[in-house]
Amino acid sequence: SAVISQKPSRDICQRGTSLTIQCQVDSQVTMMFWYRQQPGQSLTLIATANQGSEATYESGFVIDKFPISRPNLTFSTLTVSNMSPEDSSIYLCSVTTGANYGYTFGSGTRLTVV
Amino acid sequence: AQKVTQAQTEISVVEKEDVTLDCVYETRDTTYYLFWYKQPPSGELVFLIRRNSFDEQNEISGRYSWNFQKSTSSFNFTITASQVVDSAVYFCALTHAHQAGTALIFGKGTTLSVSS
């Protein structure tokens, strides 16, 4: 299965600033997903990122707030823009080459906004 | 629409007790996949099992077992002789059987606390 390197692992940011999270995969994958896990909550899908096309955002998430890039089949970034304390969460990327092959998750980025 | 319900928010047991974590799902698809993940306090997601909708056989892996029943749309997880190291949040998840893969939809999770 694929191995994901997610960076940074954690960060403390000032409100109003932006943070870009990177996920590097050791193999080419079709589908990449970005999730948010608020404190004590489950994983909520932010968007699906396909290479060569615009990301598809879930209800409640917008591109201006969470711009995503997917320049190739092994890399993606998620930016959390104009941060507020409510954005304090763990952000995770995930990849799959098909449900039958399973899903791999990054180790997560623990973001605290002060 | 797909949905996963884990009605048990928190469960507390004493070591060596057996515990069952419930998962009920909703989907209109005839072909789908179900998953269980463990999230220990360190935060990483640990894959436990994947089951497709055509395979209703129960599975046992050491102290872990899974009971998949399509008739009741349930995919329950039992830990036998629980240990303190089993303390974690457990998530049940569901996805379509799309060729290229679609996102996992997670239940709210069940926090299991095992005391010694």
Residues of B in CB contact (< 8 Å) with A are: 33, 35, 43-45, 47, 50, 52, 91, 95-109
Residue A114 has pLDDT above 90, yes or no: yes
CA A3 to chain centre: 15
* pLDDT, mean over chain A: 93
Question: Looking at residue B99, what is its pLDDT?
Answer: 63
Q: pLDDT digit string (tens) for B9-35? A: 999 999 999 999 999 999 998 889 999
Q: Report whether A23 contacts A31 (CB < 8 A).
A: no
Q: What are phi and psi of B18, to 5 degrees?
A: -90, 145
Beta carbons of A32 and B99 less than 8 angstroms apart: no
3-state secondary structure of B84: helix
Q: What are phi and psi of A101, to 5 degrees?
A: -100, 0
Neighbours of B97 (CB within 10 A): 17
Nearest by CB to residue B101, choosing from A92, A99, A110, is: A99
Give me the mean pLDDT over the A66-85 stretch: 96
What local confidence, expressed as pLDDT, does residue A24 receive? Answer: 98
Query: What's the one-letter identity of residue B16?
Result: K
- Give contacts of B102 with chain A, Cβ < 8 Å: 31, 48, 99
**Residue A108 at interface with chain B, using a CB cutoff of 8 Å:** yes
Cβ contact A107–B43 (<8 Å):
yes
**Partner-chain residue, chosen from B101, B106, B108, that has the shortest CB–CB distance to A98:** B101
Are residues A13 and A112 in contact, defined by beta-carbon separation less than 8 angstroms?
yes
Return the HEC string of chain B. Answer: CCEEECCCCEEEEECCCCEEECCEEECCCCCEEEEEEEECCCCCCEEEEEEECCCCCCEEECCEEEEEEHHHCEEEEEECCCCHHHCEEEEEEEEECCCCCCCCEECCCEEEEEEC
Q: % helix / strand / coil in chain B, to the nearest 5?
A: 5, 55, 40
Nearest chain B residue to A50 by CA distance is B100
| B29/chain A closest Cα distance in angstroms | 14
Q: What is the pLDDT of residue A99?
A: 64
Find the mean pLDDT for residues A11-37. 96
